[in-house]
């Protein structure tokens, strides 16, 4: 059986690896693992749950605010989990110091230490799913994974590298990460339904990236569907309703 849990780059020693000088910085770089408290929000459930959704917010968003877009989907048979990215920051600028009037957002990763941050959030989302499925038996549950904007990259990587492959992967307002390993990604993605959601007025849309994404999926023999909506870079309620009414597989 293949172990799909994320393997960090470098040394296998816990918290080690990556020795050497960081460009432009004196001294040597070391890493250590530290405990973190992650926040996630739940909506719905409480009955005979048949669907579990994991929804991943975009850059500068927080999970609680993002979950508002799914408020109409809360149902005793549908549990929606919205984890929050681990790196928070102030979104609004401040002349002197930030205060309670300034908005806060979160980010799943940046280009700095990206391999380690990918490993961190793959492990985090694995642990979240472990927690959910300790309370709800996994067998017979339809697991749907939706990522919006930056969260779509996170969702795609977790779908490929994580320990809980979803039945449906929805990439909304973004594209497959270019660094997915075809040997890992192709068989994983073939095992699930892939849905690509495009906004006709989305200012972030990129025709070259769209073409590259669909060419890769076809080359990997991954079945996918495209759903379009007339809006921009946003989660469209009518399209969400279409997703809830369609079976996976």
pLDDT tens, residue by residue, 136-156? 999 999 999 999 999 999 999
Closest CA to 174 of 145, 153, 192: 153
Low-confidence ranges of the chain (pLDDT < 50): 1-4, 9-21, 249
- The per-residue pLDDT for 82 is 98
Domain limits, the chain: 40-244
Domain 40-244's class? Answer: alpha beta
- The per-residue pLDDT for 54 is 98
Rounded Cα distance, 224 and 215, in Å: 11
3-state secondary structure of 182: helix
| Tens digit of each residue's pLDDT (9 = 90 or more) over 121-136 | 999 999 999 999 999 9
The answer, as to whether pTM is greater than 0.75, is yes
Judge contact between 180 and 205, C-beta under 8 A: no
CA distances from 101 to 85, 90, 91, 92, 104 (A): 21, 10, 11, 9, 10
- The per-residue pLDDT for 247 is 52
- The per-residue pLDDT for 89 is 67
Strand segments, DSSP code E, in the chain are: 40-44, 51-56, 78-83, 87-90, 104-107, 142-148, 168-172, 193-199, 224-229
């Amino acid at each position: 059986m293949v172990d799909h849990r994320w393997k960090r780059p470098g040394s296998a020693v816990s918290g080690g690896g990556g020795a050497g000088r960081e460009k432009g910085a004196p001294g040597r770089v070391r890493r250590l693992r530290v405990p973190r408290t992650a926040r996630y929000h739940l909506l719905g459930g409480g009955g005979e749950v048949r669907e579990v959704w994991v929804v991943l917010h975009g850059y500068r968003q927080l999970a609680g605010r993002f979950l508002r877009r799914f408020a109409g989907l809360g149902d005793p048979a549908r549990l929606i989990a919205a984890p929050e990215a681990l790196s928070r920051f102030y979104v609004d600028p401040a002349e002197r110091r930030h205060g309670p009037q300034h908005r806060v957002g979160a980010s799943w990763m940046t280009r700095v230490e990206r391999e380690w941050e990918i490993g961190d959030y793959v492990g985090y989302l694995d642990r979240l799913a472990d927690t959910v499925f300790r309370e709800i038996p996994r067998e017979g549950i339809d697991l749907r994974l939706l990522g919006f904007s930056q969260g779509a990259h996170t969702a795609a990587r977790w779908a490929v590298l994580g320990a809980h492959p979803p039945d449906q992967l929805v990439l909304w307002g973004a594209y497959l990460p270019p660094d997915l390993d075809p040997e890992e990604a192709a068989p994983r993605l073939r095992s699930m339904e892939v849905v690509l959601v495009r906004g006709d007025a989305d200012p972030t849309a990129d025709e070259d990236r769209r073409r590259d994404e669909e060419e890769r999926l076809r080359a990997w023999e991954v079945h996918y569907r495209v759903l379009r909506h007339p809006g921009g870079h946003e989660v469209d309620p009518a399209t969400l309703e279409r997703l809830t009414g369609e079976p996976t597989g």
